[in-house]
A and B are shown apart, each in its own frame.
Chain A
Amino acid sequence: MNRTFLEFEKPIVELERKIDDLKLLQQEGIADLGDEIAGLEKKLKKLQDDIYGSLTRWQRVQLARHPARPYFLDYVRYITENFLEIHGDGCFRDDPAIICGLARIKGKSVVLIGQEKGRTTKEKIKRNFGMAHPEGYRKALKVARLAARFGKPLVCLVDTTGAYPGIGAEERGQAQAIAVNIKEFAHLPTPIIVVITGEGGSGGALGIGVGDVIAIMQYAYYSVISPEGCASILWRDASKAPEAAEALKVTAQDLIELGVVDKVIPEPSGGAHRNPNEAASILRDFILGEIDRLSGIPVEELVKKRIEKFQGMGVVKRDI
């Protein structure tokens, strides 16, 4: 059981502890608590349904950022066999915020790309909290082209607050790197599966976020700007982020309604962090299913449909 939890998770965690305590007593044969445990478990189920059934958008953003949420490397460990990391953009340096590699999933060859936030403090600093520099996007393009050249499916797992806003990032063309990726990913002749697993932070997400199918995990979010950023620009007050999250419509269900994502991948009860292995297993099955489906479509048609899909996004009024 992980020890970090969000404010609204507290009642659930407390009740779970109580049940665990009773179970311990039961095991030791101190008292027969079977009925009581069953009652509490029923109560727990209802509490979970109540809390998770009525999450605000802001609470969902917090779940997407949950410190115990599985990250890219957790998924890689669980999902893949023989992962070989491919480093470097071949030009400037290896950006540890984006990890790329060759992998096998149930024997199928895939090329993987994803942002990694880092679990420990040391890792977080090394990985720059999953905020990539231009060389990270250029590395991603390098392996994406490799995938296309050999007809291997490409899987992009998106989890970033955003592309890094720093001096070096600007000097080396952060905007150009992202722009080029968006354009190139749109016509790479191989199936591309994009899953937003945690945070879909604006251009930083889109830089590895163009593909044939765009999926989002149940408690992940995707936004043009962070709720804090939006609140501080519009209302000069970052603490109004919960309102901004509502206004920006950033949740999985919102994105389906807006036609921006194709599929929502369900998470284990209470979120991916409550059962990372189950989350990973659901994700793996989704990826395998999509590889099968997309591999059946001729690649020219795939690319044509991919471009048309993005061409159709947006809402405008047309006067007659």
Chain B
Amino acid sequence: MFFRRKKPKLEAKKEIPDGLWIKCNSCGEILYRKELAKKLWICEKCGYHFKIDSRRYVSILTDEFNELFSEFSPVNSLGFRDYEEKLEKDYKKTGLKDAIICGEAEIGNHNVVLSCMDFFFRGGSMGSVVGEKVKLSILHAMNRKIPLIVVCASGGARMQEGILSLMQMAKTSATLNLLADARIPYISILTNPTTAGVMASYASLGDIVIAEPGALIGFAGPRVIRDTVREELPPGFQTSEFLLEHGMLDAVVPRDRLKETLIGILDFFKS
């Protein structure tokens, strides 16, 4: 009998590698970079949605964007080993201080608050900065009386900030009550992946919850579930389509139709 030894995981593979030609992570099709960018990083053959960073979402969804709350950066309040180094590394990689950018944006003829999480900074994990900026985005939307849109991409709470990360779920969700009381619409967009602490808080709480196709969405990670239940997971488990079928999403919308869909929803609420 042969046993394949598990290779130690080195650097995580780049979602979008450098170079002119890019191989689709799903179907293996070789795609021309410029063409792929024009298609908003959707594989033209199989429809796979490449993970993209927060700035790309801003440019895809908005006509204008003025950043807010950029003055916040994370603190290693638990004195967690290697945390500063990890933050520094991701800052160098992404140019971001933490895993979210927020701002006031124009989409079609609508003024909105748009907050975009960034999977490429610490896996989009939520610590105090992400929680604080989501809270401030909610309050800003409330004060300006304009809708809130949050693009989610996150593996969950940030371990290195311990219990304070968990409390960001309460901070953001509690604040959403104020927005609901003020009858201001909140649209949540779930991208690949949206799981754990983020999904179990503001990501799930939109007045409208939309997901991109094929995104991994859930509470627990598939590996943890497999180890717990010790059986094969059903096909398509925890994908957007699976959630839609089980009644957990309002709609699945491909990335190249997100903007027009948003405009439609914003028109609906405005009139």
Given A182-B174, A315-B128 in contact, is the A170-B238 Cβ separation under 8 Å? yes
B157-190 interface with A by 8 A CB criterion: 157, 159, 161-171, 173-178
Q: Is the CB of B196 within 8 A of A316?
A: no
- Give Cα distance in the complex from A174 to B199, angstroms: 9
In chain A, what residue has the closest Cβ to B225?
A165
Given contact pairs A170-B237, A222-B163, A225-B159, A318 touches B200 in the complex (Cβ within 8 A): no
Question: B248 to A173, Cβ gap below 8 A?
Answer: yes
Question: Does A77 lie at the interface of the complex (its beta carbon under 8 Å from any beta carbon of B)?
Answer: no
Q: Across the interface, do A179 and B173 meet the contact criterion of CB distance under 8 Å? A: yes
B204 within 8 A of A: yes
Confirm or deny: B103 has a beta carbon within 8 angstroms of a beta carbon on chain A.
Answer: no
**B228-263 toward A: CB 8 Å interface, digit per residue (1/0)?**
110101100110000000111000000000000000
Contact bitstring A227-255, B, C-beta under 8 A = 1, else 0: 00110011000000000000111100011
**Cβ distance B180 to chain A, nearest Cβ, rounded Å:** 8
Cβ contact of B72, chosen from A169, A255, A316, cutoff 8 A: A316
Mask of B66-90 contacts with A, CB within 8 angstroms, 1/0: 0000011111011011000000000
* Residues on the A chain within 8 Å of B177, using CB: 183, 186-187, 307
Nearest CB in chain A: distance from B239 CB, A: 11
Asked if B117 is at the interface of the complex by the 8 Å CB criterion, the answer is no
**Chain B CB within 8 A of A202 CB:** yes
Asked whether, in the complex, the Cβ of B234 is within 8 Å of the Cβ of A310, the reply is no
Which residues from A are CB-within-8-Å of B196? 175, 203
CA distance A178 to B225 in the complex (A): 17
Known: A179-B204, A315-B128. A223 touches B162 (CB 8 A): yes
Q: Of A222, A223, A313, which is within 8 A of B170 by CB?
A: A313
**A302 close to B (CB within 8 Å):** no
Contact B200 A311 (CB under 8 A): no
Find chain A residues with CB under 8 A from B131 CB.
313-314
Question: Given A170-B219, A307-B175, are A176 and B228 neighbors across the interface (CB < 8 Å)?
Answer: no
Q: Give bound CA distance, A224 to B201, whole Å.
A: 14
Tell me if B205 is interfacial: C-beta within 8 Å of chain A: yes
The residue on A at minimum CB distance from B71 is A319
Nearest-neighbor residue (CB-CB) of B9 within chain A? A236
Contact of A169 with B219 in the complex, beta carbons under 8 Å: yes
Q: Which of A165, A169, A179, A207 contacts B205 (CB 8 A)?
A: A179
User: Known interface pairs A165-B219, A170-B237, A249-B162. Does A180 touch B128 (Cβ–Cβ under 8 Å)?
Assistant: no
Asked whether any CB of chain A lies closer than 8 Å to the CB of B135, the reply is yes
Asked whether, in the complex, the Cβ of A178 is within 8 Å of the Cβ of B200, the reply is yes
A206 to B173, CA, bound (A): 11
Point out the residues of chain B lying under 8 angstroms from A247, CB to CB.
Answer: 78, 80-81, 162
Q: Which residues of A contact B202 (CB under 8 A)?
A: 179
Distance in Å from the Cβ of B121 to the closest Cβ of chain A? 15
Whether the Cβ atoms of A182 and B128 lie closer than 8 Å is: no
**B residues adjacent to A (C-beta < 8 A):** 71-75, 77-78, 80-81, 127-129, 131-132, 135, 157, 159, 161-171, 173-178, 195-197, 199-205, 218-221, 224-225, 228-229, 231, 233-234, 237-238, 246-248
Interface residues of A (CB under 8 A from B): 163-167, 169-176, 178-180, 182-183, 186-187, 202-203, 206-207, 209-210, 222-225, 229-230, 233-234, 247-250, 254-255, 258, 260, 306-307, 310-311, 313-320
11 other A-B residue contacts (CB within 8 Å) besides A173-B204, A183-B176: A165-B225, A167-B229, A170-B218, A173-B248, A202-B157, A223-B163, A247-B162, A260-B164, A260-B167, A314-B164, A316-B74
Q: 6 closest pairs, A vs B, by CB?
A: A165-B220, A314-B128, A186-B174, A179-B204, A174-B219, A175-B199
